[in-house]
Amino acid sequence: MSLSTATLRTQLDAVGEICGQPNRVLLAWSGGRDSTVLLHLLSCWAKDTGNELIALHVNHGLQNGADAWQAHCDAQAREFGVALQCFRVEVGNEGLGLEASARKARYATLQSAVEPGDWLLTAHHQDDQAETVLLNLLRGSGIPGLRGTAACRRLGTGFLIRPLLNVAGQAIADYAAERSLAWIDDPSNADQQFDRNYLRGTVLPVLQARWPQAARSLTRSAAHATEAALLLDELAHGDIDSCGSAERLSISAMRALSAARQRNLVRTACRILHVQSPPFHQMHAIQNELLNARCDASPLVIWPGGEARRYRDHLYLMATTNSLSVATGLLSRDQPRSPLAGHQGVLSLNWSDEGGIREGTVVAGLQLRFRAGGERIQLAGNGRRRRLKSLFQEAGVVPWMRDRIPLLFAGEELVAVGDLWIAAEYHEPRGFSVTWEQKPALF
């Protein structure tokens, strides 16, 4: 595809038919050649269409010249007549490697700038797509990985759009040279210790010398994989519906599916739940050990970022359970919300005309704790105090959540057990109900 303001406008018009017209158009601008070319194109497009355009520059501080790059971007944005926002980020060490950690910090920062209806554009092009497909092939990725980079997807309350995926890197280089654009060359892009740089600098040139259309062909394969992935996704959603829900899957129903459909179902359910999909060996452990375990067994399969558990005839997929700590240990009328750590959701108190905790108790404040053992509560219509352990067993609460259900205390008196039960002596026809948002599966 040739590169011009007209071709870009055609691409963005097609995006508008899918996503609606943008609130604002944001460009992730490193100051490098590709994003500078896209900024130049967008500045012309924005003047023609009247769209608000803002360039976003993230300064990672990883290179000695990082501040000079930011100054270059500031000067060039003024030359193009484009608004610029700069962000400085700290790149942490999370065991991901420097390149992946910087990417994670960059996208988190860019997403924070996105407002409802915004389009965030990046300058990924056809050669980048070819590199992504090759990397994923070498990592043993399945169909979802072979899709490469999506041309358009949701990002928070806006959209992430890559309008140059069908444009060859050479076309971008020619555009920059013809217009004498100035850009920054990041020296880290030449460091071939990074896999992507090695592919770009060594592997792709060899492939293209023999097969000049290699990048275009790999991009076409990514499009085929995208279509196949959509079909697998449709199949998985139907299978999830027949097995219950992503949070709680019937093992009897799953065992009626083929092994391939079971794996497809698990991967899709993990994506729905924002849980990392299990790697090859853990996936087979789920199928061979967990699905075939005795009904009274409690097997556990763990992988980085996720885990699978069985209780009775159901499979539960979830983020790795860890800390039981809370951001705040007190709830009251003036402070009615408390987030729970470890992907456990948010607990809140809300006035209700249909019954809840009596107002005076909430005004005095409730301490949020977790089960330590031996707790008892008297429920309405029951003449004696019952042990929580017995109530959980009778209700069928999954074992791993019994110590993770938030408990509300007035002093040493147990007032409420999550959003399940309120003690009879603290319950009134009109009072504060307990709401547990983003609650993990309990049953």
Binding-site residues for ATP = 30-35
CA atoms of 337 and 332, how far apart (whole Å) = 8
Q: Which residues are annotated as a binding site?
A: 30-35
For residue 324, what are the CA distances in angstroms to 298, 347, 398, 417, 421?
21, 13, 16, 15, 20
Show the DSSP H helices in 191-304 as ranges.
195-198, 204-210, 214-243, 251-255, 259-272, 280-285
**∠ Cα 232 236 239 (to 5°):** 140
Task: Put the strands of the sheet holding 53-59 in their side by side order.
Answer: 83-88, 53-59, 25-28, 119-121, 158-161, 152-155
CA atoms of 257 and 202, how far apart (whole Å) = 44
Phi, psi of 33 (to 5 degrees): -60, -50
3-state secondary structure of 89: coil
Tokens representing 275 are: 């849980």
8 A C-beta contact, residue 164 and residue 125? yes
